Amino acid sequence: MPKIEISAQSCKDFTGDALVIPIFSGRERHRLPLAVSKVARQVMDEGDFKADFLEIAPLHHPNGVKDCRWMLLVGLGDEEKITLNKIRKAAGAATRFCLKKGWKAIGFLAPSTSNFEHDEVQESVLEGALLGDYDFSTYRSKPDVKRAERIEVFTNGDDTRKARRRQAVIEIGVAANHLVRDLVNTPAADLYPEAFAAKAKALAAGNGVAVDVLSPEELERDGFRALLAVGKGSSRAPRVVKLEYTPAEKPKKHIVLVGKGLCFDSGGLSIKDAANMETMKCDMAGAAIVLATLIACSKAGIPAKVTGICGLVENMPGCSAYKPGDILRSRSGKTIEVLNTDAEGRLVLADLLHWASEMGADHVIDLATLTGACTVALGDGVSAVLGTDQRLIERMLDAGARVGEHLWQLPLVEEYRENLKSTTADIKNITSNRQAGVITAALFLKEFAGGASWAHVDLSSVWATAEKDYRTPGGTGEGPRWLLEWIAG
């Protein structure tokens, strides 16, 4: 994390590389502090900058700012349509612009608007700036890391106390987001099941989270046969990691988070084509989110008990690989006919959800990059939610909306269960047509979730092919921030 300051002083006294001034389109430029209004008005009057949402104009050595070489105007668009998430995104996009220039000491003026409380605006600027302050530099031979060293948020004289109190929680959420990006971006050659488990062990232990790693032998003993089958074609054997956060006082509720951790998904013998395999190191995003959320819950000291289980497996077409036509006896005893080895996530989750159902929790939520169909339906900016508890789902959707991570409910249409009927086993792992892939995958999982309050998240928004606002290409890190918001709320 960079050095952070939320300051009530005037932004004209900022000393650093660049001062970011968010501006509403239209007449709002007249409300800017005197120090910056003249130069901003000039570029707008001349028509060079309209303050459209996310539009950026860098100005060199502008009048009004003494010890800062650059001023960056960033558009917020129409004030009537402003949201806290737009403020986050504008601050994040400005940060990304600065980092690419090598500017590391960045000041931000919190925009003045009556649509939100001052502290909400200040917090959104800080959060957006920090979310954008990410660089996956581990594998670059050049050592320059494009990260900020100092971030200052200027409040134009408004009270800073509330935002300062929230700063720690904001940092916890951003750190969790960045951890998920790091894990998702790490190549599968370096983050295979055993390596992920070791990493989880180290991170959990350092952050007050209890951790237990189940070895392949223990998984065999405990009947995780569907999960183990998926891993058979790889030289890297599966692991299951159980994480546990218990609050100091008596917990108000117990939540189990289940993560799909396919460290690599080649498709197995039903192998993917080259284009579809390119990004499949991201297939462990669910497990990464579970790990990062547990750590965040512990750091924030939230009053709920949270258990996390991560199913870490590699799906490869090696000579011992499981095969289309195989029938697996899952941990629950239900038998599964495998017709496509690329529908492997649901096999891993079948065993994990059955285990989770024995834990007597109030809610079970699984997080999984389960279907390509989800990206077809919703794109890479929205994840799908389905489940058996409408109240739970609504609270999840609300939490997502509050933190600016988009979740959308799809219906769990019971009559589609027909399509999963097998002639030789209790259920088959694919349907014979291409309809409603997200829903039929969720219906498959439901068979193993027991009667508990359960929701499934199909994670189509964890990987971005291009840079967008505060999101960097590759892992987006979405997940822990809305989960933390929901669990803490």
Q: Which residues form the catalytic set?
A: 272, 346
Smallest distance, ligand BES to C-beta of residue 366, A: 14
Residue among 133, 283, 405, 485 that touches ligand BES (CB under 6 A): 283
Tell me the site size for Zn ion, rule CB under 5 A: 6
The answer to the question of residue 375 lying near ligand BES (CB under 6 A) is yes
Residue among 119, 152, 182, 265 that touches ligand BES (CB under 6 A): 265
* Residue closer to ligand BES, measured from CB, 231 or 437: 437
Residue 428 in contact with residue 150, Cβ under 8 Å? no
Residue among 17, 314, 342, 478 that touches Zn ion (CB under 5 A): 342
The answer to the question of residue 345 lying near Zn ion (CB under 5 A) is yes
Residue owning tokens 């998920």: 180
Residue owning tokens 């994990």: 352
Question: 390-403 and 480-488 helices cross at what angle (nearest 10)?
Answer: 120
User: What is the CB neighbour count within 10 angstroms for residue 334?
Assistant: 16
The contact pattern for ligand BES, residues 392-431, with x = CB under 6 A and - = no contact, is --------------------------------------x-
Q: E strands along 202-291, which residues?
A: 210-214, 239-245, 254-265
- Helix residue spans in 358-417 (DSSP H): 372-378, 390-403
Choosing among Zn ion, ligand BES, none, which partner's interface includes residue 430 (Cβ < 5 to 8 Å by kind)? Answer: ligand BES
The answer to the question of residue 22 lying near ligand BES (CB under 6 A) is no
User: How far is the C-alpha of 202 from the C-alpha of 334, rounded, in Å?
Assistant: 35
Question: 193-205 and 285-300 helices cross at what angle (nearest 10)?
Answer: 10
Residue owning tokens 């004289």: 157
Smallest distance, ligand BES to C-beta of residue 85, A: 24
User: How far is the C-alpha of 344 from the C-alpha of 267, rounded, in Å?
Assistant: 8
* Residue closer to ligand BES, measured from CB, 22 or 267: 267
User: How far is the C-alpha of 482 from the C-alpha of 393, rounded, in Å?
Assistant: 12
* Residue closer to Zn ion, measured from CB, 132 or 345: 345
User: How far is the C-alpha of 61 from the C-alpha of 58, rounded, in Å?
Assistant: 10
The answer to the question of residue 314 lying near ligand BES (CB under 6 A) is no
Rg of the chain over all Cα atoms, to the nearest angstrom: 24
Residue among 369, 453, 461, 476 that touches ligand BES (CB under 6 A): 369
CA angle 50, 51, 57 (to 5 degrees): 90
User: How far is the C-alpha of 371 from the C-alpha of 343, rounded, in Å?
Assistant: 8
Smallest distance, Zn ion to C-beta of residue 458, A: 11
Residue among 230, 287, 343, 353 that touches ligand BES (CB under 6 A): 343
The contact pattern for Zn ion, residues 240-269, with x = CB under 5 A and - = no contact, is ----------------------x--x----
Residue among 208, 247, 251, 372 that touches ligand BES (CB under 6 A): 372
Which of the 8 DSSP states describes residue 278?
Answer: T
Residue owning tokens 């990987």: 463
The answer to the question of residue 345 lying near ligand BES (CB under 6 A) is yes
Contacts with ligand BES by CB under 6 A lie at 265, 283, 340, 342-345, 369-373, 375, 430, 437
Contacts with Zn ion by CB under 5 A lie at 262, 265, 283, 342, 344-345
